[in-house]
A and B are shown apart, each in its own frame.
Chain A
Amino acid sequence: MQLVEGEKEVIIACVNEVLKEKEKTTENLIPILQNVQARLGYLPSLAMEMIAADLAVPAADVFGLATFYNQFRLSPPGKHQVKVCLGTACYMVGGKIALESFERRMEIREGETSVDRLYSLERVACVGCCTMAPVVVVDEVVEGKVTPTRVDGIMLALQENGDTKKSEMKTDLPDEGEGKNK
């Protein structure tokens, strides 16, 4: 994903700060990555290269770790993060249907961020409230018993309480709908 203006400086400053705090051993590699992600929201390739150089390990090793573990994400999170639970209980009662509905509405695939960085969509394994299945976590708020119509409601709410960029989106959406009908 393309870096936006000023983002590069933020990344460099953040990574330098984290590297200063931690002892430079391979054992600390995962904690360092976790720390950077906690601050930036994701692991830009620039950050991984800086960390690799600083710890004197091949960049491929750092990239290997970042892709091996589910916790790390390589694309920036959207302004609104939607996590669809696909734990066993949610899967059985239609978690996948909710995921597909979000994919349809956001026009991105699971694991991606929309180009305008407004939305990101992820699947997670068990949020721990199986009684409310299927469960979706929208910006840290848990929504239970999510049906495709509820997905539409959630998307509408996200568009409404937003900034100017989102009001543009709002006018966009019905057009898309009509387009599909033709």
Chain B
Amino acid sequence: MSNLTPLVSYEKLRSEAVLATNADAEKTRVLVGTATCGVAAGALQVKEDFIREIGAKGLDAEVIEVGCMGHCYAEPLAVIAKPGFPPICYGHLDNGLVHRLVEDFLAGDDPCYEYAMAALEPNDVFPTFAEFPRGVYEQKLILEQCGFIDARNIDSYLARDGYSALAQALEGEPQQVLAEIKQANLRGRGGAGFPAGLKWEACIKSGGEQIYVICNADEGDPGAFMDRSILESDPHLVLEGMILCAYAVGSGKGFLYIRAEYPRAVTHVQEAIDQARAKGLLGTKILGSDFSFDLEIFQGSGAFVCGEATALVNSMEGKMGMPESRPPRLAQKGYRGRPTVLNNVKTFAYVPLIIKNGADWFKAIGTPDSPGTAVFSLVGKVVNTGLVEVPMGTTLRQLIFDVGDGLPNGREFKAVQIGGPSGGCLPETALDVPIDFDSLQEAGAIMGSGGLVVMAQDDCMVAVARYFLEFTQHESCGKCTFCRLGTKQMLDILTDITQGKGDDQTLALLEELSEDVRDGSLCNLGRTAPNPVLTTLKYFRDEYEAHIKEGRCPALVCHDLILYYILPRKCSKLCNVCVGSCPTEAIFTREDGLKEINQEKCVKCDNCLKACPPEYTAVVKLSPPILPPEKERKN
């Protein structure tokens, strides 16, 4: 191999891969989405069901595990690719539906369109995902292959021109890779949006015999899972990006810092590294060139603060993950004291695409200052939960109401939380803000990790702010006093407010503390921790005031400010559902046959309210928690 040019060596690998995968293409294939989200919904059972049913019928079909397509609301999912039909995706699978599909579609010729979600290729019989309302807005770059290729087989990636960007780059000079990335203005997808090209260049300037490349996959936001999804579904894309970066900066060694809580991602990436090494795409003399680079996984032990660059490096060196003051930046003095490039999973994933298609292609997508796409995990009170990728500049309104299809069950929109614990809550009036690094910052939120939680009228903003603060307070490493003690004090104040305690000084004190924590902390954990509080105070101050002044939680959420009550005029004496639903036996039947809740025993679990049949809806929440007068309660 050594006397061949990289492109020739690559062509050989690719044609072998095409051959290997084409041999399979003649066969019927069932692709089951088994990323963590799918597995949680029962995808492994679905896969077993397919294998068993296919075996029982003696059919020649292959069942393959693929990653996540992003349509999490319909898990477990599978795509059936049968020669003669377009590949069709089915959602909400269970063993009954699997049985039916195998019998009617695999054995017979009826694709069961009534259960199909979408076709994957344009055809005359069934719509594709692109024809969904969300298809208009979605533009998948780094998620394109997720869920459609076999993440555990490098041939699957190679056959679709994977690693061609690397081969192409190795034919030229490292500076060309750097120039292209700089030209594309690729901004770091970890949240802050620092241009990747400038970071790389700073590293090269620091020089030295050893530069490290590290991929930050320490996704700590409790509501975001796109990095995991990409690593599980398309690991080679990230590896290729890292190798290209290493080539550009002249690094010989790299690491992927992956959370140990992501065991599937760790397994898939380790397999990908081994396979790439076996094919000569990683290791010494990559593709026969003079360039050598190798990768290793470091398993992070779960600390939110380790997403911060210096803390991550400290933790890799076997210390507690505490941030250091910068400068020196990692580009000057990073891992083992050497210049280090640290980028997010998504940032690396864009690199092969930019090298392959050129900087101008990339800049044509998105906005001038934030080119490219943004990936969000869309969760909360929204119909189409899952992973979405839209061009920068798409508005929040389009993202929530068109891509996400709005709120379920006719709920009314209240707020959207962007960027996880470091982000902010934006109200209806801010929905026309375009999504890009700078506009979101102006609105008080940040792009951050890309977690996007939609909230309805029945969500309490004080409780939400308290939730995020509880998280950051717990995750504060304890180095800076303002962050360590300030977040604790803020949490105490917020807890008091959710209990209706406080006076007219409380909110001013909370604001003052927020500003102090923001200004007095070293790293972004502390600097951004007050964001959820500041934005909710800015946009939903009336809710805070209702808690403090009236002892009332307008959203009927805060436990100490509500009570459950059975309306005597609505309660049917003949029904016993609520009594059976109560886990603490707090509900009893009165002498007149009506049901009543013993407030001493009630734990406010919401079970009776859900259990009460829709024709009665007799159970209500009251806030402030004061029972109606005795007289009213009698009838």
**Binary flags per residue of B574-590, CB closer than 8 Å to A gives 1, else 0:** 00000001011100000
Tell me whether B214 is interfacial, beta carbon within 8 Å: no
**Which single residue of chain A is at the shortest CB-CB distance from B336?**
A27
Verify if A53 is at the interface (C-beta below 8 Å from B).
no
Chain B contacts of A92 at CB under 8 A? 380-381, 453, 455, 459, 464
Partner of B318, one of A28, A124, A144: A28
Q: Is the CB of A147 within 8 A of B477?
A: no
Q: How many A-B residue pairs have CB under 8 A?
A: 139
Binary contact readout B46-58 vs A (1 if CB under 8 angstroms, 0 otherwise): 0000000000000
For window 40-59 of A, CB contacts with B under 8 Å fall at: none
Chain B 64-88 interface mask (CB, 8 Å, partner A; 1/0):
0000000011010000000000000
Within 8 A of A (CB), among B307-333: 315-321
Chain A CB within 8 A of B5 CB: no
Q: Are B379 and A68 in contact (CB under 8 A)?
A: no
Taking the complex as formed, is A126 at the interface, i.e. its CB lies under 8 A from any CB of chain B? yes
The one of B228, B316, B467 that contacts A128, using a Cβ cutoff of 8 Å: B228
Closest to A27 in B: B318
A126–B583 Cα distance when bound, in Å, is: 26
Q: How far is the CA of A129 from the CA of B303 in the complex (A)?
A: 21
Number of contact residues on B: which range applies?
A: 35 or more
Contact B225 A149 (CB under 8 A): no
List residues of chain B with CB under 8 Å of any chain A CB. Answer: 35-37, 39-42, 72-73, 75, 220-225, 228, 260-261, 298-299, 301-303, 315-321, 377, 379-381, 385-386, 417, 420, 451, 453, 455, 459, 464, 467, 471, 477, 581, 583-585, 603-607, 610
A71 touches B318 (CB 8 A): no
Instruction: Looking at the assembled complex, report how far the CB atom of A23 sits from the nearest CB atom of chain B, in whole angstroms.
Output: 12
Q: Mark A102-123, 1 if CB is under 8 A from B, else 0.
A: 0010000000000000000000
Look across to chain A and name the residue whose beta carbon is closest to the beta carbon of B320. Answer: A68
User: Which of B261, B381, B585 is close to A71, meaning CB atoms less than 8 Å apart?
Assistant: B261
* Contact (Cβ within 8 A) B301 A30: yes
B610 nearest CB neighbor, chain A only: A147
Q: How many residues on chain A are close to B (CB under 8 Å)?
A: 48
A101 touches B605 (CB 8 A): yes
Stretch at the interface among A10-18, A130-138, A156-164, A165-173: A130-138
> Does B585 contact A181, Cβ atoms closer than 8 Å?
yes
Contact A129 B585 (CB under 8 A): no
Contacts of A127 in B (CB 8 A): 36, 40
- Whether A2 sits at the interface, judged by CB under 8 Å, is no
A179 CB within 8 Å of chain B? no
| Distance in Å: Cβ of A68 to nearest Cβ of chain B | 5
Please give me the residue from chain B that is nearest to A32 by CB atom. Answer: B318
Known interface pairs A92-B380, A131-B379, A148-B605; 10 further A-B residue pairs with C-beta atoms within 8 A, sorted by A's residue number = A26-B317, A27-B318, A30-B299, A34-B299, A101-B583, A126-B223, A127-B40, A128-B37, A130-B377, A135-B40
B40/A147 in contact, CB under 8 A: no
* Cβ-closest chain A residue relative to B385: A131
A33 partner residues in chain B, CB cutoff 8 A? 301
A128 touches B417 (CB 8 A): no
Closest residue of B by beta carbon distance from A38: B260
Produce 1/0 per residue, A63-78, CB < 8 A to B.
0110011111000000
A129 contacts B318, C-beta separation under 8 Å: no
Q: Which residues of A contact B477 (CB under 8 A)?
A: 68
User: In angstroms, how far is the closest chain A Cβ from the Cβ of B316?
Assistant: 7
**Residue from A64, A94, A144 in contact with B606 in the complex, judged by beta carbons closer than 8 Å:** A94
- Name the A residues within 8 Å of B604 (CB-CB): 97
Interchain CB contact under 8 A, B318 and A25:
yes
Q: B72 near A130 (CB under 8 angstroms)?
A: yes
CB-CB under 8 A from B42, the residues of chain A are 142
The answer on a CB contact under 8 Å between B260 and A34 is: yes
- In the complex formed, the residue of A with least CB distance to B305 is A68
A86 at the interface (CB under 8 A from B): yes
Q: Are the C-beta atoms of A89 and B380 separated by less than 8 Å?
A: yes
Given A88-B379, A132-B41, verify A70-B301 contact (CB < 8 Å).
Answer: yes
Q: For B377, what are the chain A residues with a Cβ–Cβ distance below 8 Å?
A: 130
A128 to B73, CA, bound (A): 12
Contacts of A94 in B (CB 8 A): 606
Q: How far is the CB of A128 from chain B (nearest CB, A)?
A: 4
A68-B321, A87-B222, A142-B40 known; A131 and B583 CB under 8 Å? Answer: no
Residues of the A chain whose Cβ atoms lie less than 8 Å from the Cβ of B36: 127-129
